[in-house]
Amino acid sequence: MEQSSKPNCKLIVNADDFGFAPGRDRGILRALDTGIVSSVSLLANGNTCANAATAAKMRRVGVGVHLNLSEGKALSGKISGLTDAQGNFYGKHRARSVFADAAFDQEAALRELKAQVETVLGHGIVPDHVDYHQHMGLFPATLALVLEVCRQFGIKAARLCAPTEPSEYDPEAILGKELGLYRRLAAQMRMTLQQAGIRCPDGIWGMPLLNRLHEKSLCVLLEQIPPGHWELMVHPGDEDPGLPFCTAERRREQEALISAPVREIITRRGITLTTFGDLSAHSDLLA
């Protein structure tokens, strides 16, 4: 057997937005119970967060906090620059402009992020990492808040929003532009996390496949992953008509994550499915 077929590869397969809605949660749990998902991140202001936390405690899975300053309703009330008067976040596109300009009440935003971690703790979950809804942590102003949250709650690992595939794999239109932004900001993010002593994987696989992850594309991706400690960020779900993030694309992603060909590749290549907790337990695995 060729040496490259057995890489020393550890892979965190992390399902985001756990606790967002019933359909999303069903898909995540199925991918966790019968597929390759090894880690989840709880959306503390999601409609089903409490139920999702209960389900996570019944399973052997790494659990993080999906820090969120762009979607839904803030747990702590109004945040100038980020919410309306009722505490509803303005959405991804407006939020990113505000993050880039640091044009928001950072004290109130920190209070909100702390409330999200405290909510997860209140459900009996000790998070092994933080990650970020809509890649909020890429921006210097918000990353500073993330680091303060990690310091205050003793969280030792975090997502590094660094796309791994070469830029020629990036699709056109909106996602391609977003990936360009991620690539421009990722190097500074890596250095900042490392200087703060926060451990993170070497990068993320699959970011160019958002809404296009299916069995065939996932098999191709898994054959390419080299030695290292990586994250595969996924978004499995069932369809919930009328809700974002609960579409046919999420169902197709769920089916890919539980498929026999995908599991065969994981076994054949000797890929170890792991968690952020495992990452943070090894001091030699700084990004």
Which two structure tokens, joined as six digits, stand for 125?
A: 């979950």
pTM of the full structure: 0.93
Strands 39-42 and 62-67: parallel
Give the span between the Cα atoms of 212 and 208, in whole angstroms: 8
> How confident is the prediction along the chain (287 residues), in pLDDT tens digits per residue?
344 445 589 999 999 999 999 999 999 999 999 999 999 999 999 999 999 999 999 998 999 999 999 999 999 999 999 999 999 999 999 999 999 999 999 999 999 999 999 999 999 999 999 999 999 999 999 999 999 999 999 999 999 999 999 998 888 888 899 999 999 999 999 999 999 999 999 999 999 998 889 999 999 999 999 999 999 999 999 987 777 676 889 999 999 999 999 999 999 999 999 999 998 665 444 44
Domain residue spans in the chain?
A: 3-280
67 forms bridges with which residues in the sheet?
A: 132
Q: How far apart are CA 285 and CA 202, in angstroms?
A: 9
Residues 6+ apart with CB under 8 A from 184: none
Distance CA 232, CA 230 (A): 7
Backbone torsions φ then ψ of 254, nearest 5 degrees: -60, -45
CA–CA distance, 154 with 129 (Å, rounded to integer): 10
- Residue 220 φ/ψ, nearest 5 degrees: -60, -45
Q: Which CATH number fits domain 3-280: 3.40.190.10, 3.40.50.2000, 3.20.20.370, 3.20.20.100?
A: 3.20.20.370
Contact 214, 250 (CB under 8 A): no
